[in-house]
Amino acid sequence: MKHLRLTILVTASCLVIIFSHLYMDERIAGFFGEMMKEGSVMSLCSCDIPDLLIHIAIFYTVTSWIAYSVLKRRKIDNRNTRFFLLTGCTVPVSFLLKSFLKDLFGKVTTRAWLKQKYLYGFHWLDGGSDFSGFPSGHMLLFMVLALGVIRFYPRFRSASIGFLLLLAVALIVTDYHFLSDIIAGALLGYIVDDFMYYYLFLRKGNA
């Protein structure tokens, strides 16, 4: 039953991604692109923000594995231990996965498209600064972190979902990503979390 639900979710999400790519991405990005033109209030959102994702991924991975090692050395096996183990695996896997897929798909970034709209689409195996939009690495990485929190600290479920929604809106409004990039990042995050949780816990029967 679980495999069926996952299959339905992945299929439905892929259809939404395709629909968004064909009919929604350009319209939404174009709308916010107009709002961010120089002289408008929204233009304040158009500044380039340094990409700190790799630093976040490295810092969190190292920190989580240190925390996990300390807890295991003290023979503590609780939800904190499992949270650090799960996210200590899902974060680096997510970062490596998004890096590979961005190079593979080579989809133009939203801001590059706003300057040269004829570039819209995928430029296979041509990943680079202007062709690294798909999937959203920010959405992928923070999705696995949020899902880890939801699994082991369910009282923060609403806060985690709210954070993901705010992140998605921010990435769209500031024209950092197309809608389909964000949906793809969220879907991949869900798959990585689900697979890693099964591999680390359920497969061994110690969940």
- Between CA 84 and CA 74 the distance in angstroms is 15
Burial level of 182, CB count in 10 A (0-12/13-18/19+)?
buried
pTM confidence score: 0.91
Query: Where residue 140 falls among pLDDT bands split at 50, 70, 90?
Result: very high
User: By the 8 A CB rule, do 130 and 177 touch?
Assistant: no
Q: What is the mean pLDDT of residues 48-59?
A: 82
In the predicted structure, residue 137 carries a pLDDT above the cut 90: yes
Helix, strand or coil, per DSSP, at residue 122: strand
User: By the 8 A CB rule, do 121 and 143 touch?
Assistant: no
* Predicted pLDDT at 204: 61
Q: Which residues contact 151 (CB under 8 A, 6 or more apart)?
A: 83, 86, 193, 197
- Between CA 20 and CA 184 the distance in angstroms is 11
- Between CA 89 and CA 83 the distance in angstroms is 10
Q: What is the mean pLDDT of residues 44-54?
A: 66
- Between CA 63 and CA 176 the distance in angstroms is 28
What's the whole-number average pLDDT of the chain? 91
Segment (H or E) for 85: helix 79-105
Least confident window among 5-9, 98-102, 181-185: 5-9
Give the residue with greater pLDDT, 73 vs 5.
Answer: 73
Query: Where residue 41 falls among pLDDT bands split at 50, 70, 90?
Result: very low
- The full set of domains in the chain, from first to last, is 2-36+53-202 (1.20.144)
Query: Where residue 38 falls among pLDDT bands split at 50, 70, 90?
Result: low
Give the residue with greater pLDDT, 126 vs 45.
Answer: 126
